[in-house]
Structure 1
Amino acid sequence: MPEETESASRKLLRRLRETLAEPGAGQERLDRITSIIAAQMGTDVCSIYLFRDTDTLELCATEGLKPESVHQTRLRVGEGLVGRVAKTTRPINTGNAPQERGFRYMPETGEEIFSSFLGVPIQRLGERLGVLVVQSKDGRQYSEDELYALEVVAMVLAEMTELGAFVGEGEALSALHQRPAIYRGTVAQEGVASGHVWLHEPRVVVTNPIADDPDAELDRLNRAVDQLRVSVDEMLNSASDGDKEQLQVLETYRMFANSRGWMRRMEEDISRGLSAEAAVEKEQSAARARMQTVPDPYLRERLHDLDDLSNRLLRILTGQGEKTGAERPSDPILIARNIGPGELLDYGRSLRGIVLEEGSVGSHAAIVARALAIPLIIHAERITTEALNGDCILVDGEQGTVHLRPEETVQKAFGDKMAMRAKAQRRYASIRNKPAKTTCGHVVGLHMNAGLMADLPSLEGSGAEGVGLFRTELQFLTRSKVPRRSELAALYARVMDAANGKRVVFRTLDIGSDKVVPFMKPTEEPNPAMGWRAIRVGLDRPGMLRMQLQALIRAADGRPLTVMFPFIAQLDEFRLARDHLLRELEREERLGRVLPSKVDIGAMLETPSIAFAPRQFFEMADFISIGGNDLKQFFFAADRENERVRRRYDTLNVSFLTFLEQIVERCTDTGTPLSYCGEDAGRPVEALCFAAIGLKALSMRPASIGPVKHMLRKSSLAEARAVIDAARASGAQSVRPAVMDWLRRRD
């Protein structure tokens, strides 16, 4: 490598740009690129490995190894030095490769023992795409300038790979962002939807990573940064009367926008041959890499601010984003890496569906999506890099699949599926005002879950008998500070008004775990699902609990009030929480306020421990609601956020049903009303089995009430119970196969 590394870097980048501009298939381009890099850097070998799938790297081009090994040699992530670079996304630079930990000799490539090895990740904004490697026989470490040059080249390769410049095995260039694609993720909210893509944060595409004129690029960068600083100052001025947290965020933006270190690093990148856009993105990638390794949540948030600021600067430089004039489609399906509850609420019910690359089943976004009854798929990896605004998209919230730019046959099959669902919905509407009465004469109470005022119209439309669970935490999760008591009282009063006399079960704050309110400092816990959450937070921070209870009492204004405490694990927790409510009732009476005409105080049974509580617990509780989502994960020791295990255990497992029966028996013995609340309550087969073992009330999302009622009205609980008992007696692990067989034969 020449000593004048800067000019050599520019020369190498210019040669790459010329190569990429030449006609030819993707494989030809890759082959030319490896030859150019090896010649320019004076190395014996240059190889490009790209990801074949999320766990496998494939040798896609090489100069110096056997040509026949291309597309034949594959490595697992973590295997060999190349696999280590892919796994850690950090360079490996060594003058004695065979002595490095994890070294693997690959005879099929015809490689000799090359002493020196330099491998750098090919990645774009944290997305791993492959590994770029150079090797030499002489035993030496590559210089910092050579390492930098190879990292810059890897970045350009990442951009060109993202732009579809390479297709392996000699295929012609593909049409960018035009091929059909299928993504498989995790269902966070069931349902199906057809529509067109609306990107929450439109991806900025850097089409010119290499530049010839550094002075011109520096001028472009400085003008863009000046424009960015002006826009940040304008935001600060307009927010001068806003809340402190918003001002702090904007002050951080201004600090980063005026950072000389940030500017100096981008200027150095431009001097080495990158365009202004590529220099910004290089620093953005570095910030994202740091963000993934920083344990402190405050610092992570500040790095996120820098990431957002970089996006703003890229949009100024490229003219992409909001200024493209893209209009939201009439049937939008939102695509995003992740999204907060407040942003999702801003979109409201206009969305047909939501697809996220990240997220969790219990995340804020999932809670809001369930409240709005919008199909939600999470963990759809890399969809934001492929989807474009306006693309046709199908979301299957039953199978967990997303079809982007689907073929005509897929669209037709999906349309047939949606038509069948629409037909079923019309059938459910015909029984909306009829009771869920089984053929053997039992009536099962069906209630809906809610968390927003927007949910309440569903109370009438779904045929629900009341609200079995009103989640009160959503009003806290979307605020930067604690809501006022008067605000909460007004909201709860509107909820009761909208219920029009039907019962509403208000669950007190269920925060903690993955539901972190913005105004509380997050705590790092090894297992947050079993940590400081729900009633544990309420009892440790009684001021917030008492304020919420006061708001509920005042909202009732003489009407009946039903309050439920979440995540009770032992008798004393319920007793303490109940005492708080009784004391607030006494206090409100002393103040001369109107008390509820009746108060029911209940508990959510979400931990196995409370099922074995002393009899006094069941006698003291006015009602109990089984929180099935949490109870099931604790019963099976299977984290419901972990895809490897969450679907491993069946709700209709004999052990779990037997456990539920024991709870039913204890509540029957003390005359305590019992219901089941959760996703499984809204699944017709599970709901039928719950009713068959003695559960007389179920609470679910509004859209599930019709299907569940339809199943119950055509079923005999006595017959279903006989099938369950027979399956249990046979030694079956789950009663599901026997129940499904019975339903098929019956229908």
Structure 2
Amino acid sequence: MTQEHQTDSRQMLGRLRSVMAEDAAGQQRLDRITTLIAEEMKTEVCSIYLFRDEDTLELCATEGLNPEAVHETRMRLGEGLVGRVARTGKLVNTDDAPGTRGFRYMPETGEEAYSAFLGVPIQRLGEMLGVIVVQSKDARSFSEEEVYAIEVVAMVIAEMAELGAFVGEGAAMSARHQQPVLFRGTSAQEGNAQGHVWLHEPRVVVTNPIAEDPHRELERLESAVDELRVGVDRMLSTAKSGDKEQLQVLEAYRMFANSKGWMRRMEEDISRGLSAEAAVEKEQSTARARMGQVTDVYLRDRLHDLDDLSNRLLRILTGQGNETGAEMPADPILIARNIGPAELLDYGRRLKGIILEEGSVGSHAAIVARALAIPLVIHASRITTEALNGDPVLVDGEQGIVHLRPDESVIAAFRDKMAMQAKAQERYASIRNKPAETLCGHHIGLHMNAGLMADLPSLESSGAEGVGLFRTELQFLIRNHMPKRAELSELYSRVMDAAMGKRVVFRTLDIGSDKVLPYMKAVDEPNPALGWRAVRIGLDKPGVMRMQLQALVRAAAGRPLSVMFPFIAQREEYFAARDEMDKALERERILGHPLPESLEVGAMLETPSLAYASDSFYEAVDFLSIGGNDLKQFFFAADRENELVRKRYDTLNVSFLGFIEHIVDRCAATNTPLSFCGEDAGRPVEAACFAAIGLNSLSMRPASIGPVKSILRRTNLIELRNVIDKARDEGAQSVRPAVMDYLRGKL
């Protein structure tokens, strides 16, 4: 590199700090920055492009291009070299821009034939804000030192944007964390909530990205890292020796905390002009960028460890974070990228709602949220970067919509909606102790789903006749080690005690797919939902199944016991699982333990194949429960985690309804008790249709029992069945329109 093109990053950052300290409007600051960079880089052009929306970049400041093009020139994500940088998050450094794939000439900017092009993303911890570009007529590639200098400037711009440095009159950017924002996610647990934001991992705001005294910043970094290492060593010393998973994580923390390479890179960043906080965050951003590209599960976990360690170090340096004394609001709405079941249970019922950027409708967090009856919205992209602790927020769990910092008109409409729902709840409470008996005198058994002891009080308050599904996997998912048989036996016994004689159907361990035990080695499968899961794991590794069945027999202690095996796809699987049940009974008899007064062993029908099993299966099974969530996605070949297809297919489609009716008829022919369990069982219109085609038992979340009972008590199933049959005979694809016309006024 020639002397002519050398760039001193410390000198550039020093001048940048002066610009930031000036009392100027946001647009003026950006204009000064482009001029400063062009001078320091000795280039003809420096331009800053920022996102106006998710797909559009706008030229917001420039030195060297036509100033009239500012706020006029726009491009789509991926368009031109600038759009390519924004889409990929990777820099472009070329000595022949016009000859580089994707180049777009923009005549409106007065752009000449600049050969050299360097485009660097402006991003903060994975959030893309824009692109900074320098261009030169000289046909040259920019040096490593020059690239580093622009990367550092891009990072500082991102930090200053977070602090609102570019807002105001004639602003290049709108004020962050102040405007109302609507997020469209996915509903994972229905319900509505109004409250204030509580961030699971609060954003650390770096207020001093540029170092005034590098020696002082090095001392601060060394002191903070020492404190971090002491904290990790303390956690290791107090960790349970038997908890191998926790020990492995803490050992990884200690390895990173003592990494000389990590420390050296941060020291180099400080020597080049960054503050201690900015140096930590620069390394963290690099780790996050790699995390998004790595497919190896182990390496992703290690990068996640480094990300978490960086957060801890930043909180030590800044004194920011929940653990430093921030007070949780009285009406907290939890916001996080993702969260484990144990962490969510620690919050418990204090939460009014939960919003996640990641997750799935069948994830651990979703299971706990349903158990606690807390509205949950997932896939709320980028909400953790926009929300601040204490922000007002509305959660619409029915629509999967989040209103962050809503205006008064939205708040008023939302309150009206909640008031109407509260009135409906009062109506449901008035029929709590009445049977779900239809106008034609038909009784439908309404049962609740559960998974925690905390669910059991709902058995009485909801008016449920029993627990149609108790998910036993939660006790395995919320800990870092396999629970002991005695622990499970005690829990199951307490569940039976709390049910006070009402029937509880215990579903054996349903893991796999998106429910992976923390202490179980993950299996990399191309399609986990159709893979090694539920009873398939239980039969291949029978030790856990045997232990769980023995715990259930001991918990019954002479009382009636109902057990259900999940994801049975063929009759041999049921018979093999039933054989394990018989072995458990024999073992308990030999040990002198009391056997259940009566025993029911059933299966979940979640695969179409089981609907066509031989009569011998239907005659052998004590009861069947249709697992509607899985059965529906397999029937329509539509992944329920995929928003593009999951709402495309209607439960009341005549094909699906006819398939359910086929199962009803087979069970009726063999006198096999049948129920329907899943989200659709808790939807009043669907529930009424299920009852009309012959399903006498439904199992749902406790909050759905009132609405379902209310519509059933106002419905004549004979009339509704006629409506369904007529719609089918007339060639309708779905019976919903005809059913809604009939039920209008009954809802």
Q: Calculate the TM-score normalised by the size of structure 2.
A: 0.96
Match of 1:259 in 2: 259
- Given that residues 585 and 595 in structure 2 are in contact (C-alpha distance below 8 angstroms), is that contact kept between their aligned partners in structure 1? yes
Alpha carbons of 1:172 and 1:744: their partners in 2 closer, same or farther (altered >3 Å)? same
1: CA distance between counterparts of 2:112 and 2:414?
A: 54
Match of 1:355 in 2: 355
Alpha carbons of 1:66 and 1:738: their partners in 2 closer, same or farther (altered >3 Å)? farther
2: CA distance between counterparts of 1:95 and 1:121?
A: 18
Give, in angstroms, the shift of residue 404 of structure 1. Answer: 2.0
What do residues 586-619 of structure 1 show as CA deviations (whole Å, max 9, x unaligned)? 2222222211111111111111111122222211
Match of 1:250 in 2: 250
Alpha carbons of 1:91 and 1:173: their partners in 2 closer, same or farther (altered >3 Å)? closer
Match of 1:718 in 2: 718
Match of 1:143 in 2: 143
- Given that residues 7 and 149 in structure 2 are in contact (C-alpha distance below 8 angstroms), is that contact kept between their aligned partners in structure 1? no
Give, in angstroms, the shift of residue 170 of structure 1. Answer: 2.3
Give, in angstroms, the shift of residue 369 of structure 1. Answer: 0.3
Match of 1:583 in 2: 583
Match of 2:734 in 1: 734
- Given that residues 468 and 677 in structure 2 are in contact (C-alpha distance below 8 angstroms), is that contact kept between their aligned partners in structure 1? yes
1: CA distance between counterparts of 2:3 and 2:348?
A: 59
Alpha carbons of 1:72 and 1:716: their partners in 2 closer, same or farther (altered >3 Å)? farther
2: CA distance between counterparts of 1:212 and 1:713?
A: 74
- Given that residues 211 and 273 in structure 2 are in contact (C-alpha distance below 8 angstroms), is that contact kept between their aligned partners in structure 1? yes
2: CA distance between counterparts of 1:713 and 1:259?
A: 67
Alignment of 1:658-677 (within 5 A): 658-677=658-677
What do residues 48-101 of structure 1 show as CA deviations (whole Å, max 9, x unaligned)? 222222233233222233334333333333332222222221111111223323
Match of 1:205 in 2: 205
Match of 2:285 in 1: 285
- The worse-fitting range, judged by mean Cα deviation, of 600-609 and 177-186 is 177-186
Give, in angstroms, the shift of residue 189 of structure 1. Answer: 0.5
Alpha carbons of 1:142 and 1:537: their partners in 2 closer, same or farther (altered >3 Å)? same
2: CA distance between counterparts of 1:717 and 1:438?
A: 7
- Given that residues 71 and 169 in structure 1 are in contact (C-alpha distance below 8 angstroms), is that contact kept between their aligned partners in structure 2? no
SS of alignment partner, residue 8 of structure 2 = helix
Match of 2:165 in 1: 165
2: CA distance between counterparts of 1:167 and 1:570?
A: 64
- Given that residues 7 and 146 in structure 2 are in contact (C-alpha distance below 8 angstroms), is that contact kept between their aligned partners in structure 1? no
Q: Does 1:337 align with 2:337?
A: yes
Alpha carbons of 1:68 and 1:664: their partners in 2 closer, same or farther (altered >3 Å)? farther
Match of 1:483 in 2: 483
Alpha carbons of 1:322 and 1:104: their partners in 2 closer, same or farther (altered >3 Å)? same
1: CA distance between counterparts of 2:87 and 2:171?
A: 28
Match of 2:508 in 1: 508
2: CA distance between counterparts of 1:7 and 1:226?
A: 33
Alignment of 1:171-182 (within 5 A): 171=171, 177-182=177-182
Alpha carbons of 1:706 and 1:746: their partners in 2 closer, same or farther (altered >3 Å)? closer
Q: Does 1:618 align with 2:618?
A: yes
- The worse-fitting range, judged by mean Cα deviation, of 143-152 and 34-43 is 34-43
What do residues 388-437 of structure 1 show as CA deviations (whole Å, max 9, x unaligned)? 22222221111222222222232222222222111111110110011111
Give, in angstroms, the shift of residue 323 of structure 1. Answer: 5.5
Q: Does 1:547 align with 2:575?
A: no
- The worse-fitting range, judged by mean Cα deviation, of 9-18 and 661-670 is 9-18
Alpha carbons of 1:733 and 1:164: their partners in 2 closer, same or farther (altered >3 Å)? farther
2: CA distance between counterparts of 1:161 and 1:554?
A: 61
Give, in angstroms, the shift of residue 213 of structure 1. Answer: 1.6
- Given that residues 25 and 172 in structure 1 are in contact (C-alpha distance below 8 angstroms), is that contact kept between their aligned partners in structure 2? no
SS of alignment partner, residue 147 of structure 1 = helix
Alpha carbons of 1:557 and 1:98: their partners in 2 closer, same or farther (altered >3 Å)? same
Match of 1:601 in 2: 601
Q: Does 1:467 align with 2:467?
A: yes
2: CA distance between counterparts of 1:371 and 1:745?
A: 32
SS of alignment partner, residue 625 of structure 1 = strand
Q: Which amino acid aligns with 1:270?
A: I
Match of 1:406 in 2: 406
What do residues 98-118 of structure 1 show as CA deviations (whole Å, max 9, x unaligned)? 332333333343323322221
- Given that residues 6 and 272 in structure 1 are in contact (C-alpha distance below 8 angstroms), is that contact kept between their aligned partners in structure 2? no
SS of alignment partner, residue 20 of structure 2 = helix
Q: Which amino acid aligns with 1:670?
A: T
Q: Does 1:521 align with 2:507?
A: no
- The worse-fitting range, judged by mean Cα deviation, of 364-373 and 101-110 is 101-110
- The worse-fitting range, judged by mean Cα deviation, of 48-57 and 678-687 is 48-57
- Given that residues 5 and 145 in structure 1 are in contact (C-alpha distance below 8 angstroms), is that contact kept between their aligned partners in structure 2? no
Name stretches of at least 5 consecutive residues in structure 1 with no aligned partner: none
Match of 1:387 in 2: 387
- Given that residues 24 and 172 in structure 1 are in contact (C-alpha distance below 8 angstroms), is that contact kept between their aligned partners in structure 2? no
1: CA distance between counterparts of 2:44 and 2:730?
A: 69
2: CA distance between counterparts of 1:268 and 1:622?
A: 70
Q: Which amino acid aligns with 1:29?
A: R
- The worse-fitting range, judged by mean Cα deviation, of 166-175 and 608-617 is 166-175
Give, in angstroms, the shift of residue 241 of structure 1. Answer: 5.1
Give, in angstroms, the shift of residue 723 of structure 1. Answer: 1.8
SS of alignment partner, residue 564 of structure 1 = strand
Alpha carbons of 1:652 and 1:164: their partners in 2 closer, same or farther (altered >3 Å)? farther
1: CA distance between counterparts of 2:565 and 2:366?
A: 22
Give, in angstroms, the shift of residue 175 of structure 1. Answer: 5.5
Match of 1:696 in 2: 696
Match of 2:707 in 1: 707
- Given that residues 607 and 630 in structure 2 are in contact (C-alpha distance below 8 angstroms), is that contact kept between their aligned partners in structure 1? yes
Pairwise CA RMSD:
2.0
- The worse-fitting range, judged by mean Cα deviation, of 461-470 and 207-216 is 207-216
2: CA distance between counterparts of 1:491 and 1:126?
A: 43
Q: Which amino acid aligns with 2:151?
A: E
Give, in angstroms, the shift of residue 674 of structure 1. Answer: 1.1
Alpha carbons of 1:37 and 1:96: their partners in 2 closer, same or farther (altered >3 Å)? same
Alpha carbons of 1:745 and 1:345: their partners in 2 closer, same or farther (altered >3 Å)? closer
1: CA distance between counterparts of 2:436 and 2:282?
A: 60
2: CA distance between counterparts of 1:653 and 1:446?
A: 23
SS of alignment partner, residue 335 of structure 1 = strand
Alignment of 1:371-450 (within 5 A): 371-450=371-450
Q: Which amino acid aligns with 1:515?
A: K
Identity %: 75
Name stretches of at least 5 consecutive residues in structure 2 with no aligned partner: none
- The worse-fitting range, judged by mean Cα deviation, of 247-256 and 703-712 is 247-256
- Given that residues 269 and 279 in structure 2 are in contact (C-alpha distance below 8 angstroms), is that contact kept between their aligned partners in structure 1? yes
Give, in angstroms, the shift of residue 662 of structure 1. Answer: 1.1
Give, in angstroms, the shift of residue 580 of structure 1. Answer: 1.3
SS of alignment partner, residue 567 of structure 2 = coil
1: CA distance between counterparts of 2:442 and 2:100?
A: 71
2: CA distance between counterparts of 1:105 and 1:441?
A: 76
- The worse-fitting range, judged by mean Cα deviation, of 664-673 and 230-239 is 230-239
Q: Which amino acid aligns with 2:534?
A: A
Alpha carbons of 1:731 and 1:114: their partners in 2 closer, same or farther (altered >3 Å)? farther
Alpha carbons of 1:4 and 1:345: their partners in 2 closer, same or farther (altered >3 Å)? farther
Match of 2:19 in 1: 19
Give, in angstroms, the shift of residue 571 of structure 1. Answer: 1.6
Q: 4+ residue runs of structure 1 moved beyond 4 angstroms?
A: 1-7, 172-176
- The worse-fitting range, judged by mean Cα deviation, of 243-252 and 196-205 is 243-252
SS of alignment partner, residue 580 of structure 1 = helix
Match of 1:51 in 2: 51
2: CA distance between counterparts of 1:6 and 1:512?
A: 56
Give, in angstroms, the shift of residue 295 of structure 1. Answer: 2.2
Q: Which amino acid aligns with 2:602?
A: G
Give, in angstroms, the shift of residue 242 of structure 1. Answer: 6.2
Give, in angstroms, the shift of residue 471 of structure 1. Answer: 0.3
Match of 1:275 in 2: 275
Give, in angstroms, the shift of residue 4 of structure 1. Answer: 10
1: CA distance between counterparts of 2:242 and 2:537?
A: 29
Give, in angstroms, the shift of residue 701 of structure 1. Answer: 0.3
